[in-house]
């Protein structure tokens, strides 16, 4: 696996996987936060696209690509370094889950899974990988 900073050409993929605009596999469909799930689709997409844009502009984004074919994106991570770090979103392609992609992205970002961190987006996937030391704080991290 190759971990690299996101490039401008990656933004379309990041938005489509975060928002689920190209598929039904985005945050709205997989969030475990009831407040987000209740947001009408017509309101969700413009609001979350703006929110994702703000987070992407002020945060760091790492891309994990396949070693055999670096054009294949396996996953990505959006975070803000600090003490504690703020993890905004992690996406791993469904077929690449359980292959260490999220762990590699967090290690590359120097985010210690055993230390305190804050995160702003809950999904069925993140619920399975987020350690107990992390705190879900969407209102602090996304300005709600």
Task: Give tens-digit pLDDT for 90-109.
Answer: 999 888 888 999 999 999 99
pTM, to two decimals: 0.88
User: Predicted confidence band at 22 (pLDDT cuts at 50, 70, 90)?
Assistant: low
Question: Residue 33 is part of a domain; what is its CATH number?
Answer: 3.40.630.30
* Structural domains counted in the chain: 1
Higher pLDDT, 21 or 55: 55
Higher pLDDT, 107 or 28: 107
Alpha-carbon distance 133 to 123, whole Å? 17
Which class for 46: exposed (0-12), middle (13-18), buried (19 or more C-beta within 10 A)? exposed
Residue-number span of the structural domain to which 101 is assigned: 2-141
Q: DSSP letter for 115, please.
A: S
Mean pLDDT score of the chain: 87
Q: For 51, left (φ over 0), alpha (ψ -120 to 50), or beta?
A: alpha
State residue 57's pLDDT score.
Answer: 92
């Amino acid at each position: 696996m190759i971990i690299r900073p996101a490039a401008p050409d990656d933004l379309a993929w990041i938005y489509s996987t975060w928002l689920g605009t190209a598929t039904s596999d985005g945050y709205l469909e997989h969030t475990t936060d009831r407040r987000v799930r209740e947001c009408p689709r017509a309101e969700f997409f413009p609001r979350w696209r703006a929110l994702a844009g703000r987070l992407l502009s002020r945060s760091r984004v790492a891309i994990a690509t396949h070693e055999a074919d670096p054009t294949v994106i396996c996953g990505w991570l959006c975070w803000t370094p600090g003490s504690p770090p703020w993890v905004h979103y992690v996406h791993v392609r469904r077929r690449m889950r359980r292959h260490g992609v999220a762990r590699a992205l967090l290690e590359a970002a120097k985010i210690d899974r055993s230390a305190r961190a804050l995160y702003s987006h809950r999904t069925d996937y993140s619920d399975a990988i987020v350690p107990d030391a992390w705190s879900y704080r969407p209102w602090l991290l996304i300005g709600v």
